[in-house]
Chain A
Amino acid sequence: MKARVTITLKNGVLDPQGKAIHHALEGLGFSGVNDVRAGKMIELDLADGTSDAEIEDMCRKLLANTVIENFRIERA
């Protein structure tokens, strides 16, 4: 069983990496980009029967820092 955790910066948290990527896209001539936010994706290969609550616990304790980040769990 696989789950995919997407970690993004909370709204209002400055994202210098996203800003740099935005800048580079504009430099390449892509003018229609309004904003860029960079995050990360973590794929978990889990034992069958791992509960949503358990995955959420993993996110809160390690995978995301909830002071600055949101996380989203998708089961694949």
Chain B
Amino acid sequence: MQTAVIVFPGSNCDRDLAVAFEQATGKKPHMVWHQETSLPAGVDIIGVPGGFSYGDYLRSGAMAAQSPVMRAVSDAAAQGRYVFGVCNGFQVLTETGLLPGALMRNAGISFVCRDVRLKVANTQSAFTSLYDANEEILIPVAHHDGNYFADAETLDRLEGEGRVAFRYAEAVNGSARDIAGVLNEAGNVLGMMPHPERRSEAAHGGLDGKKLFDALASTAR
């Protein structure tokens, strides 16, 4: 199984994501620069990392969403390959239209950087199948624009279809219905603001995020 991590100018969690992918799959990911127009053949899992792509110009993720490589990522998602966006990667996926909604400035205006408690809201997905139903996990967040917004109709549909993967179990950023991560309709694209790759080794102080990468690796195998 092969994985890829997209690298934009301003990405800064690409290495962390690569380490998590390598631990789960036993293979080094392809690091794919944003100017590439295609992905290496045979890639099953694509990571869109956190950071501040293009300096967050215009809107967080807006410029990255227009980069050549994102067309290839969209095509791969349409073919059923797994796409996982973390933090800025989540913002990029909403701006690309692969996931519904938008990430707005945190309700409290401040940049939030701390460990937060999350509830796993869907344990049926390829990303979350190793978690127990309603399991509470601790995962770090570090973002300024994490306030998830979608209209009421979209939120109802997401909840009705079990597409809310994670919810905040405490007040973090003002997100609608405490949504921390959402899945696309087919279930092969997940975006989330918290950073599971920052809690996937014993040295991180916990392994709560590791299950996500292990689940994904075993599903895609």
CB distance from A5 to the nearest CB of B (A): 12
Tell me if B102 and A14 are in contact (CB < 8 A): no
Q: Are B147 and A14 in contact (CB under 8 A)?
A: yes
Place the interface of chain B in its size category: 20 to 34
Quick one: which of A14, A61, A67 contacts B150, CB cutoff 8 A? A67
Q: Mark A54-65, 1 if CB is under 8 A from B, else 0.
A: 000000011101
| A41 in the interface (beta carbon within 8 A) | no
How far, in Å, is B9 (CB) from chain A's closest CB?
A: 17
Q: Which residues of A contact B104 (CB under 8 A)?
A: 13-14, 16, 68
- How many chain A residues sit at the interface, stated as a range, is 10 to 19
A positions within 8 Å CB-CB of B: 13-14, 16-17, 20, 61-63, 65, 67-68
Stretch at the interface among B14-22, B105-113, B182-190: B105-113
Which label, helix, strand, loop or mixed, suits the secondary structure of the A interface? helix
Please state if B149 and A16 are interface contacts (CB–CB under 8 Å).
no
From the candidates A14, A20, A65, name the one contacting B62 in the complex (CB within 8 A): A65
- Of residues 31 through 78 on chain B, the ones whose CB sits less than 8 Å from some CB of chain A are 58-59, 62, 66
